Amino acid sequence: MYRPAAIEQLKTVTAQAGAEWFPSTPDQKPHDIAVAALDYAKKHYFDVLLVDTAGRLAIDELLMAEIKDLHATLNPVETLFVVDAMQGQDAINTAKAFKEALPLTGIVLTKLDGDSRGGAALSVRQITGAPIKFAGVSEKLDGLEVFDASRHAQRVLGMGDIVALVEQVTKGVDMEAAQKMAEKLKSGDGFDLNDFLAQLQQMKQMGGLSNLMDKLPSEMMAKAGQVDMDKAEREIKRKEGIICSMTLKERKHPALIKATRKKRIADGAGVQVQEVNRLLKEFEQMQTMMKKMKGGGLMKMMKRMGGMKAMKGMMGGGGMPKLPF
């Protein structure tokens, strides 16, 4: 009730989340809104009522008294303390004050995707005695994940979060489409620009390159840091724009794309013709590689290049391949 446009913002976010929003106006008191919302939820048989209170500092006695009153009125099943991971040691004082004011049942740690590794999580957990239930890893609605202490410790220690990486990839990948693509690559036939586009779009669904890299161990991140992720993601979007400017026939048969078609595609994607040429060149190289992979061609190619020794060097004692970073 104390921040301009906060009500409208809450209305927008609630709609995006697919939930129902309970209307209120800035002239109403938080106590009255909460009572009316609870009554509405009961009359309409809602299973869950979320009450989003205004942010407050521990030193603001009036607002702390207000939140105590809200808690006594609503008697909630869960009282979640949302703390900014970037606060560092300041979070300790805030946690102490909220612990004294409210019977906290859990903590939500936000901004774990920032520069801070969330070391404050350990202090807040110790002071409040409440478990950390959720972690905010982005500003998007799906950027909230169930908190896992061991995985968080690995992030703090620079060991990355490979489990989260696998989960993110699995969630973002259409397994049926991936299987079809694998069969196509195995046969070495029919790989066209539609498939190339599908791979680019799959990358976006997995949260982008930088999001994936954040979950790699620090040693790998150091290597990955040599690559400009922002530039790489812009390049992916540019490629996607170029392919989307082509007709379905052109995507299926790239050999049709000559000078006049290239000019039309470039204009449609807002790029230079050289960019279209570069993409087609990359696609041709990929196509050539697919054909060489067909029928064991990759192994033959590696033997000619002395690659079997290199492959052997990448194998651990137990025969498991090591990552070439």
In a domain, residue 316? The reply is no
Tell me the pLDDT band of 139, cut-offs 50, 70 and 90. Answer: confident
> Would you say residue 320 has pLDDT above 50?
no
Residues 109-123 have pLDDT tens digits of 888 776 555 566 677
**Together in a domain, 135 and 174:** no
Report the alpha-carbon distance of residue 220 to residue 151 in Å, rounded: 17
pLDDT of residue 181: 61
Phi and psi of 282, rounded to 5°?
-60, -40
Reported in sequence order, the residue ranges of the chain that DSSP labels E, i.e. its strands, are 80-84, 106-110, 132-136, 144-146
- Among 27-36, 94-103, 181-190, 225-234, which stretch is predicted with the lowest mean pLDDT? 181-190
The count of structural domains within the chain is 2
Provide CB contacts within 8 A for 131, sequence distance 6+. Answer: 106, 107, 125, 147
Residues 201-210 have pLDDT tens digits of 776 666 555 5
In a domain, residue 304? The reply is no
More confident residue, 38 or 126: 38
pLDDT of residue 305: 46
What residues make up the domain containing 240?
A: 169-295
More confident residue, 171 or 251: 251
Average pLDDT, the chain: 76
Burial class of residue 65, CB neighbours in 10 A (0-12, 13-18, 19+): exposed
In a domain, residue 1? The reply is no
The whole model's pTM is what? 0.51
**Together in a domain, 27 and 125:** yes
CA atoms within 13 A of residue 258's CA, in its CB half-sphere: 2
- Among 17-26, 277-286, 315-324, which stretch is predicted with the lowest mean pLDDT? 315-324
Token duo for residue 206 = 């997995």
Q: What is the mean pLDDT of residues 20-44?
A: 94
For the chain, the C-alpha Rg in angstroms (whole number) is 27
pLDDT of residue 164: 58
**Residue 37 belongs to a domain with what CATH number?**
3.40.50.300
In a domain, residue 301? The reply is no
In a domain, residue 274? The reply is yes
* Bridge-based pairing state of the strands 144-146 and 132-136: antiparallel
In a domain, residue 305? The reply is no
**Residue 205 belongs to a domain with what CATH number?**
1.10.260.30
**Together in a domain, 139 and 181:** no
CB 244 within 8 A of CB 197: yes
In a domain, residue 323? The reply is no
> Would you say residue 21 has pLDDT above 90?
yes
CB 6 within 8 A of CB 53: no
H helix intervals, 18-130? 30-43, 61-74, 90-101, 120-128
pLDDT of residue 324: 35
In a domain, residue 302? The reply is no
CB 182 within 8 A of CB 196: no
Residues 283-319 have pLDDT tens digits of 888 777 776 665 555 445 445 545 444 444 434 444 4
> Would you say residue 152 has pLDDT above 60?
yes
**Together in a domain, 173 and 155:** no
Q: Give the rounded percent of residues in the chain with a pLDDT score beyond 70.
A: 64
